[in-house]
Structure 1
Amino acid sequence: MCDRERGWSAVLEPKVWRVTAFSAVLGLALAAGVSAVAGPWDSGQRKAERHRAAAREGTGGADHGRDGRPPSGPRPAPSAPGVLAALGAPGAPPAGLGAALAPLLRAPGLGTVRAAAVHDAVTGERLYGVGETVPVTPASTTKIATSVAALAALGPDHRIATTVAATPDGGRITLVGGGDPTLDEARLTALADATARAVRAAAKPGAKPGAGSGAKPGATSVALTYDTSRYTGTEQHPIGPNNENLAPVTALMTNEGRLDDSTSGTADRSQRPAAATARTFASLLASRGLPVADPVPGRAPAAAKTVARTHSAPLSALVERTLTNSDNDIAEALARQTAIALGEPASFEGASRALKAQLTKLGLPLSGAHFADGSGLDRNDKVTARLLAALLAKAADPARPELRSVLTGLPVAGFTGTLSDRYSPTSPGTGLVRAKTGTLRGVNTLAGTAVLPTGRLVTFAFLTTGTSSAEAAQPALDALANRLATTG
């Protein structure tokens, strides 16, 4: 069982939620804490971040078995508490941190392997650790490492392009995938519009499009190919085919290969998403008076030129969506984009090498780490609690503003994403904990940031394997984060 996801709008249009003065103060306090340690907001800030301090989003994140029911969350409080002290300032290690956390690490809901690390978000100083150097299967907290590597390699403003190339006479068109799993029908339609205009402009006066040297003799339609060569190796994740958590990993797909109208969460997936996208593109061209032959795989001829292009959202927004929704398809795309940036093959193996190489450049503690994929669905992934806490501290480093969306993408306890329904209105960590969750059968993890009562911002990672059930393990992990928010 892996992280299940709830809906999130690809255009970042959050639903309006009702919140209280209590939630507004906590949200603003948390935003202030991140800003204090990370410098001013930049392109790593999600567009709706300021609004979410005063509005409750009703979608996004992992389901964890709720079957799509609306999330529960904080209810109106009569008044707001006093504003917290200035956030983010380092100081002496929190008094009694070890004594506060140690009993909770012995909770029966946790598994046979238990690891914990707490670091200061400003200095990176180790504040607490138990089993922190033991490599553990991280599940979806792997996405933190993937996101940091991608942002460091490509920058927060990088966008993934999908293009169309055509021969000079317009007789042959190639839809070229760049690895953007968020390509949707609206952008595919825009590509079709631009392509149809370009092909008509290229046709000789009085000639029908497709009648030139790029088409077969006697052809009455344009030849259409689709190119997925941007990625190499197998498209099939080790979890196997026909999995509702992930489409085949290919350079060309629409809406993550989903066969319904969902934008996140589990769904039946096309097993040939590139071919399905090409067929949709062909239909769009035909509806614009440009008949095309049935699409077939193939690269563009040497003489072909790009005639249309569309781009994904900036990498910073893709990272936020990955972390908030635990989006496996985007995570695998981020890993392959990192591989391309580092000159590695865009495959599972190439991405594995690239992720480790990029994180090594950042000086992170990678002993025992292994990245079998970018999403954390592979049980062969291994990281330490120390690495996860250090990754988050690196994302808070004022010298690394390009990594900021790793922090802004973390779900907020009791409010967004995979933590929207795991903290009650009265939980100490509500609004003060942001964390990425991880869930596989027998594996439960939680890694993120917390604001201490002194205003100090810390990063943490709590990992456990050999658990009997998520229902028992998740509250035990949340109790550890709650205790952080009340210690120091």
Structure 2
Amino acid sequence: MVVAVLAGATGFALLAGGAQAAPQAYRADQAPPPAAAVLQPADTGGTVGMPGQAGLQAALAPLLQDKALGTLTFAISDGATGKLLLGSGEGSPATPASTTKLATAVAALDLLPPTTRLATRVVAGATPADITLVGGGDPTVTGLPLDQVRIGGAPVDADSAPASLAELARQTAVALKAAGVATVHLAYDTSMYTGPVLHKYHDAMNIAAVVPLMVDEGRIDPRSPDEAPARTFDPAGQAADEFAQLLGAQGVAVDGKAKAGQAQPGAAQLAQVLSPTLPRLVDRMLTTSDNTLAEAVARQVALAAHQPPSFDGAAAAVVQTLTKLGVPMQGVSINDGSGLHLQNAIPPLVLADLLALAASPDHPELRPVLTGLPIGAFSGTLIRRFTPAQGSADGAGVVHAKTGSLSGVNTLAGTVVDADGRLLVFALMTRTPAGADQARAAMDRIVARLTACGCG
């Protein structure tokens, strides 16, 4: 049924089903009658419509007892004020898994300008026949035609399209041919980062070696639909080899195999391609839970905070930035940007606070934290969750949340709008011997119940 109200000089209304009512007569010298209020303004502060502790407890109590949850700690807060509404162990540090990316995202968006783009460049070498491919920290550079690129299963639009390695080769070939060069020696520069390149829990599937030069996040097969595709152990070498092939297709031969090396200071630039803006990178990182991209974003935080662009430096920079934002950091331990590290610890209340901060009108620069969250049953890592089969379909299209999963650990942190139109933020953190599917379904039922809750 469609109900619409049309107020204006014509003076008539459309009723349910589209039937037209008789026009209301008024004289031309009279002002038209005031239109009735159609929508009440949303309550974005105060206590009107705010769920109460007793109401939430009554609504959620049976679901919180599900044995599949194992040890559950959680926080549910008001999105407008950040006030804790209901929790259990909300201040106790727990393993956040990929919800760590919320901390990385908030730090990056706070510290870096929204216009930030990461550049992958080609510069001239010691002779006209020497060129260097320079990594600028963008792991999303793609060797695929852009019409074949998918993010979270969806095609990319112009704003989210990654930088093209083929375009970089084309620009390079144009510059070389203009200089009369047809054959080159190719070097590649990964000096932007410091420290170990392998994550402590590197498995060549969930994360690639963390270097500032790579293509398609180091995937061996970028078209693979696998959630954890095989990754090369040498992403920079793979990118250089692929670039050499693309140069050849443009009529410029590469003599021998590309070698690691550093660009000369002040070397002339021959070509450049740019990543999407930082907010788009954060959006992609959260939607797809891309660990390699998360580590790249964390290193940009480190560089902006004047910390070493390494695992340790990035973690220190994130903690430093969140502390300056006023996030309560007691009990927080961050060791990476992605959440793969088993020694990461974040209390549920801190995750809820990060989400409330992102929703605050005082921090519009943090809004991509919310817009990048996967949507229940529709996108990213939630595309197969909040379904009727799991008993949580009320959350489909309504729940926006970041997932996290490690062995025996499942986390979910995000936002819902309850039945009274109130924005709630939540973080659920479990450690359980139950199967991951069982634990996730139990968590989803809790969050789905929030959407139907008029618990004031």
Q: Could you state the TM-score of these two structures normalised by the residue count of structure 1?
A: 0.76
- Tell me how far apart the structure 1 counterparts of residues 318 and 39 of structure 2 sit (CA, whole Å): 38
Corresponding residue for 1:440? 406
1:477 pairs with 440, 443, 452, which one? 443
SS at match of 1:463: strand
CA contact (8 A) 1:157 1:314 kept: yes
CA contact (8 A) 1:121 1:396 kept: yes
- Tell me how far apart the structure 2 counterparts of residues 345 and 415 of structure 1 sit (CA, whole Å): 38
1:362 pairs with 325, 329, 339, which one? 325
**Aligned pair 1:322/2:285, yes or no?**
yes
CA contact (8 A) 1:437 1:446 kept: yes
Residue identity opposite 1:94 in structure 2: P
- Tell me how far apart the structure 2 counterparts of residues 302 and 335 of structure 1 sit (CA, whole Å): 25
Unpaired segments ≥5 residues, structure 1: 1-20, 23-82, 210-220
Residue identity opposite 1:170 in structure 2: P
Corresponding residue for 2:56? 97
How far did 1:302 drift?
A: 3.2
Residue identity opposite 1:413 in structure 2: G
Residue identity opposite 1:188 in structure 2: L
Corresponding residue for 2:24? none
SS at match of 1:450: strand
Higher relative contact order (CA 8 A, sep 6+): 1
Residue identity opposite 2:229 in structure 1: A
CA contact (8 A) 2:355 2:425 kept: yes
Unpaired segments ≥5 residues, structure 2: 3-37, 146-163
Residue identity opposite 2:80 in structure 1: V
**Aligned pair 1:291/2:253, yes or no?**
yes
Q: Deviations over 1:185-207 (max 9, x none)?
A: 2511111121122223334xxxx
Query: Mean alpha-carbon deviation: is it higher for 393-402 or for 257-266?
Result: 257-266
CA contact (8 A) 1:444 1:470 kept: yes
Corresponding residue for 2:73? 115
How far did 1:153 drift?
A: 1.2
Q: CA-atom RMSD, angstroms?
A: 2.1
Corresponding residue for 2:172? 195
Query: Mean alpha-carbon deviation: is it higher for 302-311 or for 97-106?
Result: 97-106
SS at match of 2:58: helix
- Tell me how far apart the structure 2 counterparts of residues 192 and 128 of structure 1 sit (CA, whole Å): 55
Residues 124 and 94 from structure 1, CA distance in 2 versus in 1: closer, same or farther, beyond 3 angstroms?
same
Corresponding residue for 1:253? 214
CA contact (8 A) 1:87 1:451 kept: no
Q: Deviations over 1:349-373 (max 9, x none)?
A: 1111011011111110111111111
- Tell me how far apart the structure 1 counterparts of residues 39 and 369 of structure 2 sit (CA, whole Å): 24
CA contact (8 A) 2:68 2:432 kept: no
Corresponding residue for 1:458? 424
CA contact (8 A) 1:449 1:460 kept: yes
How far did 1:337 drift?
A: 1.0
How far did 1:169 drift?
A: 5.1
- Tell me how far apart the structure 2 counterparts of residues 349 and 463 of structure 1 sit (CA, whole Å): 25
CA contact (8 A) 1:85 1:454 kept: no
CA contact (8 A) 2:410 2:429 kept: yes
1:313 pairs with 264, 272, 276, which one? 276
Residue identity opposite 1:283 in structure 2: Q
Corresponding residue for 2:188? 226
Corresponding residue for 2:303? 340
Corresponding residue for 2:118? 160
- Tell me how far apart the structure 1 counterparts of residues 193 and 315 of structure 2 sit (CA, whole Å): 14
Equivalent runs, 1:371-450 vs 2, <5 Å: 371-424=334-387, 427-450=393-416
Query: Mean alpha-carbon deviation: is it higher for 177-186 or for 96-105?
Result: 96-105
2:230 pairs with 244, 264, 268, which one? 268
Residue identity opposite 1:279 in structure 2: D
Residue identity opposite 2:60 in structure 1: L
Residues 291 and 427 from structure 1, CA distance in 2 versus in 1: closer, same or farther, beyond 3 angstroms?
closer
Residue identity opposite 1:252 in structure 2: L
CA contact (8 A) 2:386 2:396 kept: yes
Corresponding residue for 2:452? 486
- Tell me how far apart the structure 2 counterparts of residues 85 and 407 of structure 1 sit (CA, whole Å): 24
Q: Deviations over 1:199-254 (max 9, x none)?
A: 23334xxxx55xxxxxxxxxxx422110001111111111134x311111111000
How far did 1:263 drift?
A: 6.8
Residue identity opposite 1:476 in structure 2: A
SS at match of 1:423: coil
- Tell me how far apart the structure 2 counterparts of residues 273 and 85 of structure 1 sit (CA, whole Å): 54
How far did 1:303 drift?
A: 5.3
SS at match of 1:428: helix
- Tell me how far apart the structure 2 counterparts of residues 309 and 195 of structure 1 sit (CA, whole Å): 8
Query: Mean alpha-carbon deviation: is it higher for 283-292 or for 189-198?
Result: 283-292
- Tell me how far apart the structure 2 counterparts of residues 170 and 153 of structure 1 sit (CA, whole Å): 39
1:181 pairs with 122, 139, 152, which one? 139
How far did 1:431 drift?
A: 2.2
Larger radius of gyration: 2
Corresponding residue for 1:132? 90
Q: Report the count of equivalent residues.
A: 391
- Tell me how far apart the structure 1 counterparts of residues 228 and 435 of structure 2 sit (CA, whole Å): 20
How far did 1:255 drift?
A: 0.4
- Tell me how far apart the structure 1 counterparts of residues 84 and 421 of structure 2 sit (CA, whole Å): 17
How far did 1:484 drift?
A: 1.3
How far did 1:91 drift?
A: 4.0
Corresponding residue for 1:279? 241
How far did 1:89 drift?
A: 2.7
Residue identity opposite 1:90 in structure 2: G
CA contact (8 A) 1:85 1:455 kept: no
Residue identity opposite 2:236 in structure 1: A
Identity value in percent = 47
Equivalent runs, 1:36-51 vs 2, <5 Å: none
- Tell me how far apart the structure 2 counterparts of residues 378 and 169 of structure 1 sit (CA, whole Å): 44
